[in-house]
Chains A and B, each alone.
Chain A
Amino acid sequence: MSISIASIIKKSGPFAHSSNSVQKTMFTVLLALAPATVFNLYLFGWPAIMLFTVTVGSCVAIEAGCLALADRPVKAALGDYSAILTGWLMAMSLPPWAPWWIGVMAAVFAIALAKHSFGGIGQNVFNPAMVGRTVMLISFPVVMTAWVAPHPLFSAGAPGLMDAIAITFGGHMPDTVSAASALGYVKTELSRGIPVTESIAKVPDLMDMVLGYRAGSLGETSAVLILAGGLFLMFKRIISWHIPLSVMGGVFLMGAIFHAVDPARYASGMFHLVSGATFLGAFFIATDYVTSPVTKKGQLIFGLGCGVLIWLIRTFAGYPEGVAFAVLLMNGLAPIIDQYTRPRAFGRNSKGEPLPLVKEKP
């Protein structure tokens, strides 16, 4: 039967096609990520640049290997930039001074396990970058939560090239530079009985957090540039507003409601919105085509679910940040959401029965 499909392939239209392609789409996403990435690589210096290169490089190499093993055309498939994007997003979710093997192992889990064992591009259920990051976080919690304060390139005290090689490839993490991310700090303090109101007063003020001058992964800092990239994607119609807005809305509302109830126990909605990887998650991770629902209605449910889960995990689970877990959980639900949010067909009700003929004057 599939042969009969092939035989009519050239026989029907349309004889026109929009200018978009998978390659163009992925490339635009990379473009949107670029400003935030460049700024953050500058902020965290040589070790970050090395880890970034290693992570992206491993993803591409493993993608090529998997394609070759599956006997699929390597060059054409690599040209779609999807492996680069996975590596890029994953690198942005790792601690910037993490050792090289974190990047390599994360790439193995992301590309080989999460993507190719499901059948390659378009077939995976879970977001590969988040699988990679999460497996690493669970396996190596200490390394994966070793945040550093920003050390801008060429600034005093910033590691030079040689120091960087020692940090990334030699595993020599200087003790003195470690710092907690805002979310982690607030959580630890709370566990010591210090109310959120007090601990938040000690973290950099919200404005600094927005600009990105704080500890965290590449993608967690600099909310402004991530936001700008996200808006650019919306402007380019690569993503719609549905997922980003519902993710942010979910996080913000949960934060705001509980903060209103007990400010000493719960951080504010605004704090949740600008801290951690909220923006990166909302605009770049939850919006991954393959692992999110295809209908707008489904996307709203999906995004809202992500937002609420992010807040729940940050607030009640053992981990300070919940974007990756939340997105993965909702990824698992996406196929079901899709099934229940199919659009209503023209001239039919939601059950697929023809609409009744209502007599009314047109």
Chain B
Amino acid sequence: MKLFPILGGIHPDYRKERTSEKAIVAMPMPATLYIPLQQHIGAPAEVLVAEGDLVRKGQMIARNQGTVSASQHAPTSGRIKAVTEVAAPHPSGLPQMTIVLESDGKDEWADLPEPIADPFTADMHTINDRVAQSGIVGMGGAAFPSAIKLNLGEQKKLEILLLNGAECEPYLTCDDRVMREYPDEIIDGARIMAHALGTPRIVIAIEQNKPQAIGIMTKAASAFPEIRVVGVPVQYPMGSERHLVQAITGRETPARKLTADLGVVVHNVSTTRAVHHAVRFGRPLVARVVTVSGGAIREPNNVLTPIGTLVSDLVEFCGGFAVRPESVVNGGPMMGQPLPSLDVPVVKGTSGILALTAEEINDSQTSSCIRCGNCVTVCPCGLSPIDMASFIRKDKLDGAAKLGVMDCFSCGSCSWVCPSHIPLVHYFNYAKGALNDLERERSKGDRVKIFVESRTVRLERAAEAKRATLAARKPASDNAAPGNAAEAKPAPTTEEKANA
């Protein structure tokens, strides 16, 4: 299959060999699980249980609410200890509503929904509903509710379901292992999703540094002519949706559009496997494979981890720390988030827990920009990090916005390459946050302005109407009055609009 080049990119030290040959192991059920109501992009789920309730494994304990949201299920059987605020696995460490579940050690399944007998004749809604019901979100890290992405088939004519097995982040091997150990489950899930989406073709893209996965997946797919397994070049960030689509189809997704507008929907391989479980067995998403690695971890491994397991329990399962880590990261080293502490739960989007040493991070004192241009060369989005950063440093956010800082997806390539160790991504994250806030302020301000203006107009018109009425009393200006009075009427309508 002909591949197309993507812009920029880097070749970091992958360090995947530490866990790539380690078969997935299930960790013993922790005594207590912490299931946050929001583990995904969108609105938090609505709690269905209360303190003291007994639940069984797979039972829905929080329901999705609003258009973009995902349900949560009990990862094991036990008793609800509390529904309370617990630190979230986010750099801020801010508390989040979380269901605390005490395991009863039995790990008893609840009555699960019936398997969908023949998913390939089922209509798309049946499948989408099942995916939504099973709380499945994108497992590559973005954690976008999968059912919503599956609904795209309804609105758009789609051509390709692209399975993302690139796993371009260093260290991470969870997708690699899942592909090597459960190829048939992935393929089955992919075929079900392709059916729901209405895509005639499935392409499975895997970076060429995973030859075994490519081999195994190719073999598993050989029975299905609509599936192609493609080895893509090892180039970070190949796993970015838009870039992967470009590598496979040669087409560039326009800004502010979705890859689906080009007829391509991208799903992570592990997500696909979760869909297989949901459709074939009625099993919701209650555990995931997490790569635990980094120089500070004693026994790096790929661990099947119940959702809600505390990072500290997971780390302990992997032998604890050999040395003190400089940072513990949720996700890969390039785009992952630093954890504020180990007392936060593993969530559906947690692909890796990395305990990194200072040498691995290789951070250093920031020095002046020497204009080497490396950041410009490597930016996969065609941006000029050096120029955006200099605007942001002077607090000229508009200038940075004009250069496209909002298009930056914080892939980290520019920071990685900068010889002066300038924290470019930090600048861009800051600018994006501040610009979003400004935007929100502005639209609020606009609303207030419209309101004030319409009020002024209304008052003016009322005054005018009054004058007109007064004038109408004078027989001399009879003909002017009705017109004025009529004009005064639309004013309230304007105000209504402003309030809407």
Contacts and interface: CB of A to CB of B under 8 A. Distances in A.
B380 interface: yes
A85 B387 CA distance: 26
A295 to B, nearest CB: 6
Contact of A14 (B160, B257, B335): B335
B272 interface: no
B198 interface: no
A24 B373 contact: no
Interface stretch (A246-254, A256-264, A343-351): A343-351
A362 B327 CA distance: 42
Contact of B369 (A122, A295, A362): A122
A1 B360 CA distance: 31
Contacts of B497: none
Contacts of A292: 371
A16 B14 CA distance: 10
A11 B426 CA distance: 8
Interface of A: 1-2, 4-5, 8-22, 24-25, 76-77, 80, 82, 120-123, 289-296, 299, 338, 342-348, 352, 354-357, 360-362
Interface stretch (B38-46, B259-267, B297-305, B311-319): B259-267
A13 B373 contact: no
Contact of A9 (B12, B333, B356, B423): B423
Given A15-B354, A120-B368, A354 B373 contact: no
A347 B242 contact: yes
Contacts of B252: 346-347, 355
Given A295-B376, A343-B376, A354-B257, A5 B427 contact: yes
Contact of A11 (B91, B242, B407): B91
Contact of A12 (B159, B253, B263, B429): B429
13 contacts: A5-B392, A5-B430, A8-B430, A9-B426, A12-B338, A18-B10, A21-B421, A122-B369, A294-B371, A294-B376, A342-B384, A342-B403, A355-B254
Nearest to A76: B365
Given A4-B430, A295-B376, A17 B361 contact: yes
Interface string B449-471: 00000000000000000000000
B47 interface: no
B256 interface: yes
Contacts of B249: 362
Interface string B395-412: 100000011100100101
Contacts of A338: 387
B251 interface: yes
B386 A294 contact: yes
A290 B377 contact: no
A120 B179 CA distance: 53
Contacts of A21: 364, 419-421
Nearest to B248: A362
Contacts of A355: 252, 254-255
B255 A289 contact: no
A24 B306 CA distance: 45
Given A16-B12, A362-B159, A22 B416 contact: no
Contact of B425 (A14, A121, A346): A14
Interface string B280-299: 00000000000000000000
Given A15-B354, A82-B370, 11 more contacts: A10-B338, A12-B338, A14-B415, A16-B334, A21-B421, A122-B369, A122-B420, A290-B370, A293-B373, A294-B376, A346-B380
Among the interface residues A14, A291, A362, which one has the most CB atoms of the partner chain B within 10 A? A14
B368 A1 contact: no
Contacts of A80: 367
Nearest to B380: A346
A357 B257 contact: yes
A279 to B, nearest CB: 22
B382 interface: yes
Contacts of A10: 338
Contact of B416 (A8, A17, A122): A17
A341 to B, nearest CB: 10
Contacts of B362: 16-19
Contacts of B256: 347, 354
Contacts of A123: 368
Among the interface residues B91, B334, B382, which one has the most CB atoms of the partner chain A within 10 A? B382
B329 interface: yes
Interface string B47-79: 000000000000000000000000000000000
